Structure 1
Amino acid sequence: MTQFQWPSNGPATLVCKRKWAETSNSVSFTLAPESINDQDIAFNFIPGQFITLGIEIDGKMEYRAYSLSSMPNQTELQLTIKRVAGGKVSNYIVDSLQEGQAVSVLKPAGEFHIERRSQDQAHGNRIVLLSAGCGITPVMSMAKTLLANKDDSTDIHFIHAATQIDQIIYHQELLAMAEQHARFHVSIMLEDAKGSDYLEGRLTQAALANYCADIAERTTFLCGPVGFMGAMQENLQALGMDMDNFYQESFTPAESTQPDVELNNADKVEALANATIFVPTFGAQVEAKIGSALIDALEAAKVPVIAACRSGICGSCKCKVTKGEFTRTSTETLTVDEIEQGFVLACSCQVHSDLEVALN
């Protein structure tokens, strides 16, 4: 089977092949090339990674990052999206995305995945996959991939939190996986356990230890709402887990490695001045405030730059500053060589002088 070739710069166009309801407020759908001649093309990624999805809504292309729930080397990518209050793209997908509709997709990315490990230690032969709500998607990809590998012997404890039984995403699939694989264990906690045999409440420190007695000795992969992840990290630390064996998905930028810049009065006056941003390839030039984000200037110049997460995580706005001074607050998806060559994430790059920028 041939591997799908992602464009070296910019998004690919894929088509929604299938769409179905997972719960009353979430849907799953698959993406694949439109041509039937591409049916033997498979997608390669690392379980736990995400793609950046671009959909035109009200005449504007909107980009968002969503974790993959499918396994690598399949002919379709699968995602599961949950309705979110005020979520422009998520709610459009739930309500309006149609089978056969074309969407833009940036290649898989992200450092939260099953192959992530410390310098000299693999994830070990016992892991915990801990999730809540739609955070189940990347860890589900991890679980299915490990279980499908006949040479893998990892003991997997899957702990998931949901509001009530009919809101458990992949519920029946999880139960089937537990029946088929002796090394796969499922524990589910519900806020409202009515109509089920599951425990009711929240995943406290005691609840985690009750579900998985050796949890502190395992490697943990965590994904869910920000508040949930913060609470789970505290619980695991309190239980004595070695946090070198703890990984969590994060769509917030990493801490900046740039030194803080203290401005004197003269610098503060200069910070009110403008700089010129020039993109030679497109003959575009625009003024920007010193200290402002490069992405704002590029969007004002109407050059084809994609800003999906706007937090220095997805890497969609990568470009190269060929001239000028700048600082950056995230290098999350950049290699050491790219950083040395002047590549930046435009959403996390601050303008400090006239800049010349290359998008290719």
Structure 2
Amino acid sequence: MTLTETKNAFIQLGKFLSQFSLDENNKKSEVLHNETFYDSFITLIALSRSHNGWYIEEQVYFAIQSWAEALRPENLDKWLDKYNLENSGGKTVGLILAGNIPLVGFHDFLSVLTTGHKALVKTSSNDQHLLPFLAKYLIAVEPKLSDRIVFTEGRMENFDAVIATGSNNTARYFEYYFKNKPSIIRKNRNSVAVLTGNETKEDLIALGEDIFRYFGLGCRNVSKLFVPKDYDFKLFFEAMYEYKDVIFYEKYANNYDYNKAVFLMSNFKLLDNEFLTLKEDSSYASPISSVFYEYYDDSNAVMARLEAENEQIQCVVGNDSIANSIPFGQTQKPALWDYADNVDTIAFLSKI
């Protein structure tokens, strides 16, 4: 099977996904296999919350639209054109996927297939339905893929390499279990924002997208702020008010109440707007409904620290004055070439 055939299957999948949005689903006559998959996918989206309470329709639709955009032909070409994949393929790659946000493992799945390998997929118990459905669509478009996509619920066997995503604790198990296989093992990471105090309200509203998208469950969500000495949080909280409806989701509200109570019982000083707490803390990983913050005197020192602790950091968000930062509001819109943990998955897969 050629790379062109594989790419075309994913392009068709992108066209299929482009029909679905929170505002309106729009069935297009030119999309392949709609008679089989269109209505079933709408039903699956509606059921996603029953499979995982965090997968409300708004978040699932956002993930779907993000992948519809990523799978445009020009994006696939820009991503893959720099690689020599002529001799790639033929191996079986085990994928152990996370389930913290919808379709979080799709990039690894896409990478394995575009490099000509077979994907042996173990989904998370928190996300067992979306990717298998999309795999069925791909196979309908390109039946040759049927031999290269296998889902397993049990122990993975007979594979040549592995990409596994989990917590720091499970990573230790993965590293031991897969020590004799080529592997990419992903651990916990968090994203941070470095504020200068010169941000506009629009900047901070966009930052709220980085904080609240997927309820803060992704490694690309901002969980920590670095702010200059004597920073005034008034404008920050005014901007966050745009996201006030998040408290109406039961699972988020329960986490807010619980974590706030734990902080207060421990006599921690909090900043609070009734749906988000800010706590001064040197750690990166804040609990759901809370963001940590830390004051700084020198932004260069902050960037030096983040570089030294880069294995804990996924993204750095900031304005133009913050070197190598992602613009506000863009963390959950990565391009295909924005690799998790800065590990080039295609380069890895092309050499196994």
| TM bracket, shorter-chain basis | 0.3 to 0.5
- Structure number with greater Rg is 1
With structure 1 as the length reference, what TM-score do the two structures score? 0.35
Larger RCO: 1 or 2 (CA < 8 Å, sep 6+): 2
Choose between structure 1 and 2: higher strand proportion: 1
